[in-house]
Amino acid sequence: MLVLLVLLCLMSVSLEMTVGRCEAPMRPGHTDCEMPRDGVRWFYDNELDDCFEYFYYGCGAGPNSFTDYYACRRYCTAADRFNCAGNTEPTASCSRRYNTCPRGSTCIIGFVTGRCCDIEEEEQWYKETHPTCKQGRPLTRKTDYGEAIRFGRSCSHKFCPLGYQCIQGKRLAYCCKEELENW
């Protein structure tokens, strides 16, 4: 019984530390240290329930700072996570058997249950997560399953490399090659 109580306490502390780390604000750090190691890092955004890139100045990262996307996701999102687009609130519940969604909503089935999600929000999120550039394609990163567009939450996070300009959308930002001026 005592062992079970100790395990429950440890799990509670571990969960509390995880939640605290993931809900901490993103801090880009500073350069005032002995050996700054700047570069792109990831932070968890509680509002959108996802991880985004930002430029880290090399010193003084806060707890909500991860070296890669997968570390951020593993630490801050549930494996069985299932949300409406952009982490918007569902309008109701539904199932494979009963589509009881209110008008203007669509039933999106997860692993076990379904959620009614606002159609306009779903369409807007699709457009935002499938951006276009005037010249070429948005900057991507290699993943286990191919490539994914490099998204940030805000252009102020300076995650686009040299030669790319940041394009700010309603909720996300992405990188496009800078346009060359005609000579």
Cβ neighbour number for residue 51 with a 10 Å cutoff: 25
pLDDT of residue 36: 85
Amino acid 80: pLDDT: 79
In a domain, 135, yes or no: no
Q: What is the β-pairing status of strands 105-109 and 39-45?
A: unpaired
Residue 118 located in a structural domain: yes
In a domain, 69, yes or no: no
What predicted TM-score, i.e. pTM, was given to this entire model? 0.80
Q: How many domains does the chain have?
A: 1
Instruction: Please check whether residue 175 lies inside any domain of the structure.
Output: no
Q: Tell whether the torsion through CA atoms of 23, 25, 26 and 29 is positive or negative.
A: negative
pLDDT value for 183 = 45
Q: Is residue 18 part of a domain?
A: no
Q: What share of the chain is helix, strand, coil (3-state, %, to 5)?
A: 25, 25, 45
Whether 121 maps to a domain, the answer reads yes
Structural domain that includes position 107: 82-130
Amino acid (1-letter code) at residue 56? Y
> What's the pLDDT at 11?
43
Task: Flag residues of the chain having pLDDT under 50.
Answer: 2-17, 183
Rg of the chain taking only CA atoms, in angstroms: 20
> Going by DSSP bridges, is the β-strand pair 146-149/140-143 parallel, antiparallel, or unpaired?
antiparallel
Residue 86 within any structural domain of the chain: yes
